[in-house]
Amino acid sequence: MFHQAIWEEKLIFEKSGRRTLKLPNEDVKLNVNIPTDLLRDNLNITDNEEYEVIRHYVRLSQMNYGVDLNTYPLGSCTMKYNPKISEEIVSMDQIKYVHPLQDESTVQGSLQIMYELQEYLKEIAGMDAVTLQPVAGADGEFTGLLLVRAYHENRKDFKRTEIIVPDSAHGTNPASSTMAGFTTIEIKSNENGMVDLDALEAALSEKTAAFMITNPNTLGIFEENIIKIAKMVHEKGALLYYDGANLNGIMGKTTPGKMGFDIVHFNLHKTFATPHGGGGPGAGPVGVKNHLAEFLPVPIIGFDGKRYYFDYNVKNTIGKVTGFYGNFAVLVRAWAYIKMQGGNGLKEVTEMAVLNTNYLRKKLQGYYDLPFKELRKHEVVFSGTNFKPYGIKTLDIAKRMLDYGLHAPTIYFPLIVEEALMIEPTETESKEDIDKFAEIMIKIANEAKESPDLLKNAPQNTAVGRIDEVEAARNPILSWKMLKK
């Protein structure tokens, strides 16, 4: 049985020691006067020995779960294996110790990598131009929607204030729409879990700025009516936006460009195997068709056949969405991944991801409810409703999975599936690992009926037991400073 490490690790502030680290120029004498009314009285943090800091965080790391430990089936997050060569490359001084505002002549290597990545992403998405500047998926959405706004305003079409999204959409879609100054219209999915064409028709109007969808959608179902959808949206003068969170389900098989999308954002930390970093950094480049290229953020990376350069000459640019050129060290990892996969390899990635998903789907059918059709792409959503008679919720199933040394799937999303369990195995898991995963989920399904307390009391084998989240929100303690009060 799995047992996570349990270190009774105090907060770093509850330890005390002395500083063993010596600073460069440590002995410089301070002989300037800082205005006394600007001087700080005290700083309430501790000094620590170097070894103690290392022990502290290594112990903490042992109480954390990553892809490098076991299957991490979070739906819509695409937790695939992160190649180690990428970590080696980004540890080079020519990446770490290069300043973003250095003269172009001193950063030709960085620019070449960015240029090549732009080209690859254009091809993968079937787009005409790409910006690498957004630093996360949601940041890509925000950027894409600023482009939507710029496009309509440039045509003096100021009445387009609405973004339509399906009710199965990622939460970031409506949130990004608000940030870009739009109102969100949510439409119901049909009985097959797909876009309801009548509902879309009813929602579309001269006020529609864009329709924002992901395809395959969050159920892992490919929107078969995509050609019709694109036509309907464009006929109304609106744009079609592709949320690239689920790109792993279609690479090399089709492209958003082919499907009729005008704008795409990528999640490099998902599809292109850059590490998720415990929550970030990610990267969320945006690709567009020609008619939107004149609005892209600056700079774009150009190449004149000899030299790579920053191109600030974008006619109606929206300006900047983050301070510099995006999460460069993440971009490099995605570039390395694409190089190692090659065009054919990317197609195989998708084939294996979809094969793995459907294999797992078939294995679990009969044990967990499967709403909607069978054929899925990169992910599948089950429902835990069949365990209601035993007083078991999806949350209990998820917590029990932790006891077996597995991360849980995404739960309670998408919102249109009751008690949802959203599973994305990715292509990097072998048959053996998927079999093991399925075996454990089946075991838990049986436990739910035979000994539900095992689930209700889970997890037992993790560093801590189930946490009181309600109390945490009711009496928030957000820092050591608040704890001391």
Partner 1 sequence: MDEKTEMMDFIGISNIDELFVDIPEDVRIEKLKIPDSIDEHTLRIEAKNILSKNKSFFDMPSFIGAGVYNHYIPAGVYAIGSRSEFYTAYTPYQPEISQGMLQTLFEYQSYIAELTGLDATNASMYDHASALGEAARMAHSINEKKEILIPKNLTWQKKSVLWNYIKGLGMNIIEYNYEENTGKIDLEDLKNKINQNTSAVYAENPNFFGVIDDHVLKIRELGKFIFIAGINPISLGILKPPADYGADIAIGEGQIIGNPMNFGGPLLGIFATKMEYVRKMPGRIIGMSKDRNGKRAFVMTLQTREQHIRRARATSNICSNEALCAVFSASYLSFLGRSGLKRLAEINVQRANDVREKIASINGFRNAHNSLHFNEFVIKLPRSEMDIHRYLLSKNIHGGYLLNTWNKNAFPELGDAMLFNVTEVHTDEHIEKLLSALREVQ
Residues 93-132 that bind partner 1 (CB under 8 A): 93-103, 105-110, 112-113, 120, 123-124, 126
**Residue whose tokens read 């191109």:** 311
Are the beta carbons of 21 and 57 closer than 8 angstroms? no
Using CB under 8 A as the binding rule, whether residue 338 contacts partner 1 is answered as yes
Using CB under 8 A as the binding rule, whether residue 142 contacts partner 1 is answered as yes
Using CB under 8 A as the binding rule, whether residue 343 contacts partner 1 is answered as yes
Question: Stretches 197-205, 286-294, 347-355, 421-429: which one binds partner 1 (CB under 8 A)?
Answer: 347-355
Q: Which of 176, 214, 217, 271 binds partner 1 (CB under 8 A)?
A: 176
Judged by beta carbon, residue 148 or residue 449, the one nearer partner 1 is: 148
Q: Which of 197, 318, 440, 442 binds partner 1 (CB under 8 A)?
A: 318
Using CB under 8 A as the binding rule, whether residue 479 contacts partner 1 is answered as yes
Q: How far apart are CA 443 and CA 135, in angstroms?
A: 40
Q: How far apart are CA 209 and CA 151, in angstroms?
A: 9
Greatest Cα pair distance in the chain: 76
Are the beta carbons of 147 and 296 closer than 8 angstroms? yes
Sign of CA dihedral 97, 102, 107, 111: positive
Using CB under 8 A as the binding rule, whether residue 380 contacts partner 1 is answered as no
Phi then psi for 188, rounded to 5 degrees? -70, 145
Q: Which of 347, 371, 383, 440 binds partner 1 (CB under 8 A)?
A: 347
Restricting to residues 236-275, which ones interact with partner 1 according to CB under 8 A?
Answer: 250-255, 258-260, 269, 275
Q: Which residue blocks in 295-390 are alpha helix, DSSP H?
A: 328-364
Restricting to residues 459-478, which ones interact with partner 1 according to CB under 8 A?
Answer: 459, 462-469, 471-473, 476-478
Using CB under 8 A as the binding rule, whether residue 328 contacts partner 1 is answered as yes
Judged by beta carbon, residue 389 or residue 456, the one nearer partner 1 is: 456
Q: How far apart are CA 25 and CA 44, in angstroms?
A: 24
Cα angle 354-258-359, degrees, rounded to a multiple of 5:
5
In angstroms, what is the minimal distance from the CB of 130 to partner 1? 14
Restricting to residues 8-37, which ones interact with partner 1 according to CB under 8 A?
Answer: 9, 11-13, 19, 21, 23-26, 28-35, 37
**Which residue(s) pair with 409 in the sheet?**
none
Cis peptide preceding 281, ω within 30 of 0 = yes
Going by C-beta distance under 8 Å and a sequence separation of 6 or more, which residues neighbour residue 307?
104, 108
Q: Which residues of 127-141 are buried (b: 16+ CB within 10 A; e: fewer)?
A: bebbbbbbbbbbbbb
Using CB under 8 A as the binding rule, whether residue 448 contacts partner 1 is answered as no
Judged by beta carbon, residue 318 or residue 440, the one nearer partner 1 is: 318
Determine the residue type at 59: R
In angstroms, what is the minimal distance from the CB of 443 to partner 1? 18
Using CB under 8 A as the binding rule, whether residue 190 contacts partner 1 is answered as no
Helix (H) / strand (E) containing 441: helix 431-450
Phi then psi for 241, rounded to 5 degrees? -110, 130
Short-list 4, 84, 81, 82, CA closest to 433? 81
In angstroms, what is the minimal distance from the CB of 457 to partner 1? 8
Q: Which of 188, 234, 302, 355 binds partner 1 (CB under 8 A)?
A: 355
Question: Stretches 203-211, 276-284, 421-429, 445-453: which one binds partner 1 (CB under 8 A)?
Answer: 276-284
Using CB under 8 A as the binding rule, whether residue 444 contacts partner 1 is answered as no
Question: Stretches 201-209, 287-295, 339-347, 419-427: which one binds partner 1 (CB under 8 A)?
Answer: 339-347
Q: Which of 342, 366, 389, 391 binds partner 1 (CB under 8 A)?
A: 342
Q: How far apart are CA 363 and CA 355, in angstroms?
A: 12
Judged by beta carbon, residue 154 or residue 183, the one nearer partner 1 is: 183
**Which residue(s) pair with 162 in the sheet?**
183, 208
Phi then psi for 108, rounded to 5 degrees? -60, -35
Are the beta carbons of 231 and 199 closer than 8 angstroms? no
Q: How far apart are CA 396 and CA 384, in angstroms?
A: 10
Using CB under 8 A as the binding rule, whether residue 158 contacts partner 1 is answered as no
Number of residues forming the site for partner 1 (CB under 8 A): 192
Q: Which of 171, 366, 389, 391 binds partner 1 (CB under 8 A)?
A: 171
In angstroms, what is the minimal distance from the CB of 446 to partner 1? 21
Q: How far apart are CA 13 and CA 353, in angstroms?
A: 44
Restricting to residues 34-53, which ones interact with partner 1 according to CB under 8 A?
Answer: 34-35, 37-40, 43-48, 50, 53
Judged by beta carbon, residue 99 or residue 389, the one nearer partner 1 is: 99
Using CB under 8 A as the binding rule, whether residue 440 contacts partner 1 is answered as no
Per-residue tokens: 66: 């990553």
Q: Which of 131, 246, 327, 428 binds partner 1 (CB under 8 A)?
A: 327
Are the beta carbons of 298 and 312 closer than 8 angstroms? yes
Restricting to residues 279-308, which ones interact with partner 1 according to CB under 8 A?
Answer: 279-282
Q: Which of 234, 236, 237, 359 binds partner 1 (CB under 8 A)?
A: 359
Using CB under 8 A as the binding rule, whether residue 325 contacts partner 1 is answered as yes
Q: How far apart are CA 205 and CA 238, in angstroms?
A: 9
Q: How far apart are CA 200 and CA 207, in angstroms?
A: 13
Restricting to residues 411-430, which ones interact with partner 1 according to CB under 8 A?
Answer: 413, 430
